[in-house]
Amino acid sequence: MSKDSVKLLNFWPSMFGLRVHYALDLKGVSYDYQEESLLNKSKELLEANPIYTKIPVLIHNGKPICESLVIVDYIDSVWPGSHKLLPEDPYEKAVARFWADFGDKKLYDAGNRLIRAMGEEHKKAGEDFKWALMKIDEALGTIAPGKPFFGGDAMNFADVGLAPFICWFKGYQKVGGFVLPGPEEWPNLHKWVDAVNSVDAIKKSTPSPDKVAEFAEVIRKRVLGAA
Amino acid sequence: MSKDSVKLLNFWPSMFGLRVHYALDLKGVSYDYQEERLLPNKSKELLEANPIYAKIPVLIHNGKPICESLIIVDYIDSVWPSPHKLLPEDPYEKAVARFWADFGDKKLFDAGSRLIRAMGEEHKKAGEDFKWALMKIDEALGTIAPGKPFFGGDAMNFADVALAPFICCFKAYQKVGGFVLPGPEEWPNLYKWVDAVNSVDAIKISTPSPDKVAEFAEVIRQRV
Q: Is residue B1 part of a domain?
A: no
Whether B165 and B64 map to the same domain: the answer is no
Q: What is the mean pLDDT of each run of 10 residues along chain B (224 residues)?
A: 86 98 98 92 95 97 98 98 97 98 98 96 98 98 98 98 98 97 98 98 98 97 94
Q: Is residue A38 part of a domain?
A: yes
Answer with the one of A56, A78, A100 that is the final residue of a domain: A78
Whether B118 and B169 map to the same domain: the answer is yes
Whether B123 and B20 map to the same domain: the answer is no
Q: Does the structure show a pLDDT above 80 at A27?
A: yes
pLDDT at B2: 61
Whether B171 and B194 map to the same domain: the answer is yes
Answer with the one of B56, B79, B102 that is the final residue of a domain: B79
pLDDT at A1: 47
Q: Characterize B19-40 residue by residue with b for buried, 16 or more Cβ atoms within 10 angstroms of its Cβ, and e for exposed.
A: bbbbbbbbbeeebeeeebeeee
Whole-angstrom Cα distance, residue A18 to residue A14? 6
Lowest mean pLDDT among A38-42, A165-169, B125-129: A38-42
Answer with the one of A78, A108, A138 that is the final residue of a domain: A78
Q: pTM of the prediction? A: 0.97
Q: Is residue B129 part of a domain?
A: yes
Q: Is residue A84 part of a domain?
A: no
Whole-angstrom Cα distance, residue A137 to residue A122? 23
Q: Which of these, B98, B46, B101, lies nearest to A86 by C-alpha position?
A: B98
Domain of A195, CATH number, reads 1.20.1050.10
Whether B37 and B133 map to the same domain: the answer is no
Q: Is residue B86 part of a domain?
A: no
Whether A51 and A129 map to the same domain: the answer is no
The pLDDT tens digits for A55-65 are 999 999 999 99
8 A C-beta contact, residue B161 and residue B23: yes
Q: Is residue B217 part of a domain?
A: yes
Q: Which residues of A touch B (CB under 8 A)?
A: 51-52, 60, 63, 65-67, 70-71, 73-74, 77-78, 90-91, 93-94, 97-98, 101-102, 105-106, 135
- Sheet (strand A32-35) strand order: A32-35, A6-10, A57-60, A63-66
Whole-angstrom Cα distance, residue A216 to residue B150? 43
> What letter does residue A36 receive in the DSSP assignment?
-
Reduce the DSSP state of residue A35 to 3 states and report it. strand
**Domain with B23 in it:** 6-79
Nearest to A66 among B61, B99, B136 (CB): B99
Nearest to A73 among B78, B98, B107 (CB): B98
Mean pLDDT over each residue of chain A, to the nearest integer: 97
Domain of B42, CATH number, reads 3.40.30.10
Whether A94 and A162 map to the same domain: the answer is yes
Whether B67 and B105 map to the same domain: the answer is no
Q: Is residue A168 part of a domain?
A: yes
Instruction: Look up the ipTM and state it.
Output: 0.97
Q: Report the half-sphere exposure of B125 (CA within 13 A, side-chain side).
A: 8
Q: Which residues of B touch A (CB under 8 A)?
A: 52-53, 61, 64, 66-68, 71-72, 74-75, 78-79, 91-92, 94-95, 98-99, 102-103, 106-107, 136
Q: What are the chain B neighbours of A77 within 8 Å (beta carbons)?
A: 91, 94-95
Whether A113 and A189 map to the same domain: the answer is yes
H or E element: which one contains B44? helix B44-49
The pLDDT tens digits for A176-221 are 999 999 999 999 999 999 999 999 999 999 999 999 999 999 999 9
Whether B132 and B214 map to the same domain: the answer is yes
Measuring CA to CA, how many Å separate A227 from each of A177, A217, A222, A223? 18, 15, 9, 6
How many structural domains is chain A composed of? 2
Q: Is residue A1 part of a domain?
A: no
Of the residues A77, A88, A102, the best mutation for testing chain B's interface (the one with the most B CB atoms within 10 Å of its CB) is A77
Whether A172 and A124 map to the same domain: the answer is yes
Whether A69 and A97 map to the same domain: the answer is no
8 A C-beta contact, residue A142 and residue A148: no
